[in-house]
């Protein structure tokens, strides 16, 4: 990758950027910083400081040490403009920040020593205080966070743009086996990592009407007159790279009302009306993914998307204006990545800003837009490819609908010339869906306007071209490409798994943390019996930590020496947690019937949230909880089988689970998972994968070797053929050994205290439609699980396979993913910054 020459910034005064009192990295410096913030920022004396006070003081002290790099990076871009990546995402699942920033700075031990001076001997006590930031939900948001960290570590200038959700998605409780959603009040104790910039607020409009007028040059123009307006206030979160000076930023928008209090309404007794505008506007940044099962929920979700996209684009345009850079050069300075369809309204909003606010002509505005935007597709599931009804869209964004109609008219004319007389292709590719009630197809809009469209795994990218967008791929084959996802090894190995990290560093040095491709050097130890024994001992020690957590939070004792068989991810039918559940019941029956010869003792661990309106997913959680309750209460299962459902799965819990897993369950229906990133985190931590040829599983198997991967299940081609021939799952039941008894046990209410109705919808779904081919893969899944048990019986062989999974996982670093985006799509380059504090 081409690299800019390093820019050295000489920082003239200690109070400007590099105050020596606030940038030192010794234990004394950190202690002094904590003491200062306890007194001046928190108003506390050390003897009366709580653990939360100490967490806040340490966080502020660490943030002080980020500021030098953060502000120097901003000044560097001003002094020597470079192309900046703008990553637009509805989610950024950044996880806890304190431990990660200490790792980036290399001062974890110094911070621990500073805490000891305050009487805190266990550093983990302070890390546990930190709340999980409620800024994301699943893989989409975690990917965005990994990419921001890799961008900074690779020294590529970048800004992540999203929403500062006040309440996140929800916290999950399990009551009587059911998921219960409660408010995620993650901001209640303050968040020391954000820096508000109210002076850089943006105005965003909704509703209203448009007017035609002529400008001073006599050109016909359009003016949008919104009915309501909200203010977006940016909050910046510094994102530091690993042991570099580059500190990118995550800019999150908080919504405010233009008028927060109506004094007249209050005085006449209309107390709600006095704050109605404030409440309505601030709803925009209250909750991630409001339930779109209602008209108001859909309306709020569209408003949220337009809100953060408009603020972000205005911010980018303003950055050019303050540097006196012509607006025509926008594509040279900003590479705008749309992370799935949520920010796809950026196409129409950027056109509106360029046409109506900057008074450019259509061709110039379209050139800027199409040269700046690129689109990542993350799913083939129809419900995730957003469509907005014309009536709703036009009522909220009337000017944008006009622009989309014009974009579509011009696009359809191109297609008409390419395929004269073929009205069917016009129907398929149109941005406006007219097959039912008219709707705007956001994925089509993003595809038409973007210079690149990418999938996130080789299989997924192939399916994007052949199944999802075949007509677009035929029109513009050069647009479509693949960038397989990755995850950052800093958080997911170096930070989350210090015991394994220490063993790896002892073997090959610490260079793998910065350059994860060097992890391949570990393969040289795959034949070292002594090292493999230490490897197994390290894994067992990590499993003890998770076992303690499980006991504290569920009351269930698990054996760390048993196989930790783990499936943690969002609960969805296509991810097939219920397939795993049926396999657990089969194992349970074998133990009960005395036919479980050679089965490995297992602790089967589930975790994940279901969307509040997704009944079947919530029923699956109830099913898993019921199985766990029955199995764990049965004395016959002692030492043989335990089942755990970990509530409220998130990044913080993932940092405990991934390092402890022995077996990674990646069992989604082939062709449904775009990529997956949990599969990569497990492999990096030495878990072996049992999985289908779906998403990035295909590439993981290729990299780690077929002998180190437990493959099962029908391929996408097999399933397409089965569907074409007519899939009748009820005909399979009696043909598959163990399946009839498994289903009968559920049907008879064995796991529901005799209630034969509770799981009837799940059974009917499986034996009636089975939309995700659970029964079609059941027999192959059992055979693969038998192979797992056989491999587990040889500890040395298992440890060798685990080591090879780690040693061959270098490809799945997000550094590699970001490097590919930068080369193929963004045309962005490293921009190293050297900081000198010398006085002139």
- The catalytic site residues sit at 378, 569-570, 575, 677, 681
Cβ density class 630-641: b for 16+ within 10 Å, e for less: bbbeeeebeebb
Q: For the range 637-641, what are the long-range contacts, defined as Cβ-Cβ under 8 Å and sequence gap of 24 or more?
A: 637/588, 637/591, 639/559, 639/562, 639/601, 640/591, 640/596, 640/599, 640/601, 640/602, 641/584, 641/587, 641/588, 641/591, 641/601, 641/602, 641/604
CA dihedral 378, 380, 382, 384 (to 10 degrees): -10
CA dihedral 428, 430, 434, 438 (to 10 degrees): 140
Strand order in the sheet with 432-433: 387-389, 439-441, 432-433
Whether the Cβ atoms of residue 593 and residue 556 lie closer than 8 Å to each other: no
What number of helices (H) and strands (E) belong to the chain? 34, 25
CA angle, 625 as apex, 691 and 673 as ends, to 5°? 30
For the chain, the maximum distance between any two Cα atoms, rounded to a whole number of angstroms, is: 89
Give the N- to C-terminal CA distance of the chain in Å, as an integer. 34
**How far, CA to CA in Å, does 463 sit from each of 64, 307, 377, 669, 694?**
47, 32, 11, 14, 11
**Helix/strand/coil for 278:** helix
Whether the Cβ atoms of residue 792 and residue 600 lie closer than 8 Å to each other: yes
Whether the Cβ atoms of residue 202 and residue 174 lie closer than 8 Å to each other: no
Whether the Cβ atoms of residue 710 and residue 787 lie closer than 8 Å to each other: yes
- Alpha-carbon gap, residue 139 to 726, rounded angstroms: 33
Helix (H) or strand (E) holding 666: strand 663-666
The burial class, CB within 10 Å (0-12 / 13-18 / 19+), for 506 is exposed
- Alpha-carbon gap, residue 797 to 794, rounded angstroms: 5
Report the length, in residues, of the chain.
Answer: 840
């Amino acid at each position: 990758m081409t690299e800019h020459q390093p820019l050295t910034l000489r920082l003239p005064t200690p109070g400007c950027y590099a105050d020596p009192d606030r940038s030192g990295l010794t234990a004394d410096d950190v202690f002094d910083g904590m003491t200062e913030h306890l007194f001046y920022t928190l108003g506390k004396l050390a003897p009366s400081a709580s653990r939360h006070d100490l967490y806040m003081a340490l966080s502020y002290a660490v943030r002080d040490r980020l500021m030098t790099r953060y502000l120097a990076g901003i000044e560097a871009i001003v002094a020597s403009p470079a192309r900046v990546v703008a990553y637009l995402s509805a989610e950024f699942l950044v996880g806890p920040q304190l431990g990660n920033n200490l790792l980036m700075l290399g001062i974890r031990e110094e911070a621990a020593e500073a805490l000891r001076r305050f009487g805190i001997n266990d550093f983990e006590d302070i890390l546990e205080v930190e709340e999980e930031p409620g800024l994301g939900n699943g893989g989409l948001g975690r990917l965005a966070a990994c990419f921001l960290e890799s961008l900074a570590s690779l020294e590529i200038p970048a800004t992540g743009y999203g929403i500062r959700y006040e309440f996140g998605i929800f916290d999950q409780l399990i009551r009587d086996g059911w998921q219960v959603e409660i408010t995620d009040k993650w901001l209640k104790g303050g968040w020391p990592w954000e820096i508000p910039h109210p002076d850089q607020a943006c105005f965003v409009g909704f509703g209203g009407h448009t007017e035609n007028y002529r400008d001073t040059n006599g050109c016909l123009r359009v003016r949008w007159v919104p009915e309501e307006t909200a203010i977006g206030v940016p909050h910046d979160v510094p994102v530091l790279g690993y042991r570099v000076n580059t500190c990118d930023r995550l800019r999150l928008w908080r919504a405010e009302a233009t008028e927060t209090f109506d004094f007249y309404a209050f005085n006449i007794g209309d107390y709600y009306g006095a704050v109605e505008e404030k409440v309505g506007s601030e709803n925009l940044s209250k909750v991630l993914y409001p339930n779109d099962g209602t008209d108001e929920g859909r309306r709020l979700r569209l408003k949220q998307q337009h809100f953060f996209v408009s603020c972000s684009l205005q911010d980018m345009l303003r950055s050019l204006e303050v540097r006196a850079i012509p607006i025509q050069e926008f594509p040279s300075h900003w590479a705008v990545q749309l992370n799935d369809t949520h920010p796809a309204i950026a196409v129409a909003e950027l056109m509106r800003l360029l046409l109506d606010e900057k008074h450019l002509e259509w061709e110039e505005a379209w050139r800027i837009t199409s040269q700046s935007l690129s689109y990542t597709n993350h799913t083939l599931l129809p419900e995730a490819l957003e469509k907005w009804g014309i009536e709703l869209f036009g009522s909220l964004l009337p000017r944008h609908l006009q622009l989309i109609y014009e974009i579509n008219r011009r696009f359809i004319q191109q297609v008409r010339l390419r395929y004269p007389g073929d009205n069917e292709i016009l129907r398929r590719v149109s941005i406006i869906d007219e097959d039912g009630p008219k709707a705007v197809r956001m994925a089509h809009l993003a595809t038409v306007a973007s210079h690149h469209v990418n999938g996130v795994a080789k299989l997924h990218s192939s399916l994007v071209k052949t199944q999802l967008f075949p007509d677009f791929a035929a029109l513009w084959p050069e647009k479509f490409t693949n960038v397989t996802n990755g995850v950052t090894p800093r958080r997911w190995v170096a930070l989350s798994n210090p015991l394994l990290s220490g063993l790896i560093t002892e073997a090959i040095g610490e260079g793998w943390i910065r350059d994860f491709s060097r992890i391949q050097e570990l393969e040289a130890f795959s034949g070292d019996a002594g090292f493999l024994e230490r490897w197994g001992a390290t894994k067992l020690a990590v499993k003890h930590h998770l076992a303690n957590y499980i006991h504290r939070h569920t009351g269930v004792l698990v054996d760390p020496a048993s196989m930790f068989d783990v499936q943690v991810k969002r609960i969805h039918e296509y991810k097939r947690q219920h397939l795993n559940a049926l396999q657990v019941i089969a194992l349970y029956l074998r133990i009960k019937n005395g036919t479980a010869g050679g089965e490995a003792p297992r602790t089967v661990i589930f975790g994940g949230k279901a969307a509040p309106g997704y009944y079947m997913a919530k029923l699956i959680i109830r099913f898993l909880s019921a199985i766990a309750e029955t199995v764990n209460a049965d004395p016959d299962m002692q030492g043989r089988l335990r089942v755990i459902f970990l509530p409220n799965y998130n990044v913080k819990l993932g940092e405990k689970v991934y390092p402890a897993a022995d077996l990674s369950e990646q069992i989604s229906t082939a062709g449904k998972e775009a990529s997956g990133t949990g599969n990569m985190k497990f492999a990096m931590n030495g878990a072996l994968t049992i999985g289908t040829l779906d998403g990035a599983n295909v590439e993981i198997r290729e990299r780690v070797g077929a002998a180190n991967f437990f493959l099962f299940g029908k391929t996408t081609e097999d399933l397409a053929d089965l569907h074409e021939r007519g899939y009748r799952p009820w005909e399979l039941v009696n043909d598959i050994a163990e399946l009839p008894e498994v289903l009968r046990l559920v049907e008879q209410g064995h796991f529901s205290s005799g209630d034969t109705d509770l799981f009837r919808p799940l059974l009917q779904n499986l034996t009636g439609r089975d939309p995700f081919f659970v029964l079609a893969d059941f027999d192959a899944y059992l055979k693969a699980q038998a192979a797992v048990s056989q491999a587990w019986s040889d500890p040395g062989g298992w440890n060798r396979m685990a080591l090879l999974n780690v040693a061959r996982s270098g490809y799945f670093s997000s550094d590699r993913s970001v490097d590919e985006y930068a080369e193929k799509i963004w045309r962005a380059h490293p921009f190293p910054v050297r900081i000198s504090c010398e006085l002139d």
